[in-house]
Chains A and B, each alone.
Chain A
């Protein structure tokens, strides 16, 4: 939050009346740096004043009390990803607010490359989308850099849930996917903490067309962080995590071509401009009370894939923190 949301919100001129962190000293330091008048500790939730929007950016497994707190209050909510490990959990979170007033922070949906690929799929420029291959991971890197990320109770999972979920969500968003069935899943995990996941997912778009998603998330070797899409007549490749241009080649061809939007090139593509677009689109939807792509409810398919992957991969239902959070905040 120190590096992303707060600088962006300040740059937008947002009024931030308070900040809350489990570590009050940290909250005070951040409040001082960003000129936020009130810094609260974990047990001071009741002192939080009314705001238009509440940003919930704490780790996934620690959100239950905050959801409970927000039940009776009118503020719109922006929840940082990952938001839910199962469809039922996401549905319960979505019940907190109307769809336009509850955002899930899958901000890669705002990226320029996402907009271009989504349009190419919708316009069927290369024919129908047939197959997608998505890979994510670096050798030995088992979690994101966050200090919480190695605690399963807080993180809720490994790289699949914490970071690679962006690839899954963005693919589903670009493809207009309405249904997903995990056909095969081979997951190596320590408890609920995934280390290596290879899966085949059958995606179905709104028009009933089927697309096969091949998924790799691993800490056992280095990947290219690439998403490759195969259409009837061409193959696209790009990355959400590396500065790699969107390239296209004919199915049997050898030459690569770069694709850019005629007006916007591949912007937004950096941390703040992507976040800026996501935030402003969320706030615009909020203003006219109309849900858009920022709405948490539009991430149901993503939650469904995550739920199926963990169920097939490590067995059983979603692990206890997720279950706890869904039970606890509901009145």
Chain B
């Protein structure tokens, strides 16, 4: 039996991953939570719960001493110093208080690549553009450095957008495809979604020694297109239309510059059109008529486009591009592999949710 200790198991991802781990007959997930009440939902789902903090080394040994793998989903909010102290405490204790052969996985996210509000492309940024990215990078570095020093196999999972039966982002997508929008426009670059099923699968492979230590980007492999993601939640015969549009950034610098120049020219005309008419154009009536006609046509096109775009959903802040970083070698294609285990997890959840509230997907 492989015992996997899950720190921060009471969160949405931690809970669902515990349930997927339970579907493996030779795996025993153990939820580590700080307070008794934090384990309330997990206990109702028949997950073994251990209560305590990693602050005390003796308690830490009791909590993690028999684990073959420890995975840390915990998050801390607040000031940077507090978050770093939290990671420092958790990572060092987890590595010090487990058996020599036990492995450790630090759960990070693709935000560690460093994106920020104005730096949205999917790529590795040298400077992190959010505090979240900075603190996650700190935790990642610490994990790999301490692992090396203590001779332990350590891993970092940079999770994409996590989907699953309990996940808020799944619920939002479900609501989106049921909304009045029938047309959706997404980038034609792959989605960065990952299902809890695949996270659990990756952890099992790590626990069994099937993956090499390192920092991994955890996105479904092969990645789902945005069309597949929406159609998964919409189901067959939903009638939704998903268009994958080319990125403006990939249109080439010349086209980009031309578009920008045209935009500036139109701004100028909007601002000074009446001035030009009053002082210049009326000297050439034919040119004035053509210029006016051009502006009216442009305005008509603009208004038609605005009207049509009301029926089209275009997500904001989607990261375009392909996230870099190695992928786990042995994870399966979730399109085909996750349905049976998802049914098992749905069955477990029906104990607390009641059958009427269970999502289909």
Contact = CB atoms under 8 A, between A and B. Distances in A.
Interface of A: 138-143, 145, 150-152, 158, 190, 193, 195-196, 219-222, 224, 256
8 contacts: A140-B41, A141-B12, A142-B40, A150-B35, A151-B35, A196-B352, A220-B352, A222-B166
B36 interface: yes
Interface residues of B, number: 24
A142 B12 CA distance: 11
Interface in B326-361: 349, 352-353, 357-358
Contacts of A196: 352
Nearest to B9: A140
A219 B12 CA distance: 10
B92 interface: no
Nearest to B35: A150
B189 interface: no
B37 A139 contact: no
Interface of B: 10-12, 14-15, 34-38, 40-41, 77, 166-168, 171, 175, 180, 349, 352-353, 357-358
Given A139-B167, A195-B40, A221-B357, 8 more contacts: A139-B168, A140-B166, A142-B37, A190-B40, A220-B353, A221-B166, A222-B168, A256-B180
A140 B357 contact: no
Contacts of A224: 175
Given A138-B12, A224-B175, A219 B37 contact: no
Contact of A221 (B40, B180, B353): B353
A143 B168 contact: no
Contacts of B41: 140, 142, 195, 219-220
Contacts of A152: 37
A139 B164 CA distance: 11
**8 interchain residue pairs of minimum CB distance:** A139-B166, A222-B171, A220-B352, A150-B35, A140-B15, A190-B40, A221-B353, A140-B12
Contact of A193 (B10, B37, B349, B358): B37
B38 A150 contact: yes
Given A220-B353, A224-B175, A142 B38 contact: yes
Given A221-B353, A222-B171, A193 B40 contact: yes
Nearest to A216: B357
Among B35, B41, B180, B349, residue most surrounded by chain A Cβ atoms (within 10 Å):
B41
